[in-house]
Amino acid sequence: MSHRSNLFFYGVKDNIEDHKENDIYLSYVTDNNLNRSSKAFITFGITRKIQYPVWFYSGLGFSYYSESKQLTLQPHYDNNTKNYVSEVTTVWAKDPNAVAWGLNPEVGIMFNLWGFTLSAGINQPLPFKTGLKPDKFSPQFSFTIGGAWER
């Protein structure tokens, strides 16, 4: 089993839809044109020894992708808290139209010498139906250093 992620924006609480009305940003919102993505992959697979110390691995799992945008909020009345926000604030907001789940096939090669491992592989996220551009799902290359133990 392997897991890779860059869930830097895991804690983003705002949602872009909270700052829009009829798909148009509210008058106090400015889109700063800064986007950040979060990706996560989890894969289950098998390894097969080709010839010591070279191993082949392959697997299948799931991939997750989401985007957040940076917004600047001018002073405004907040309908949710029923308070007037008097200062300019910058928030990161999740874009609900930029989220995708999918399959994640992976293959690679691993060198295992005395419990020390080096591996190189590639996985290609295959999203289920999504409105995101295909370039968001380019192949992901990985190079890892690790350890292994005897069974």
Give the pLDDT score at 42: 87
The Cα–Cα gap between 31 and 41 comes to 29
Best mean pLDDT range from 4-8, 24-28, 102-106, 144-148? 102-106
Contact by Cβ (8 Å): 119, 144: yes
The whole-model pTM stands at 0.68
The mean pLDDT value for 88-108 works out to: 86
**Total count of domains within the chain:** 1
Enclosing domain of residue 142? 2-147
pLDDT digits (tens, 9 = 90+) for 31-51: 888 888 888 888 899 999 999
What's residue 55's pLDDT? 93
**The predicted structure's pLDDT at residue 106:** 93
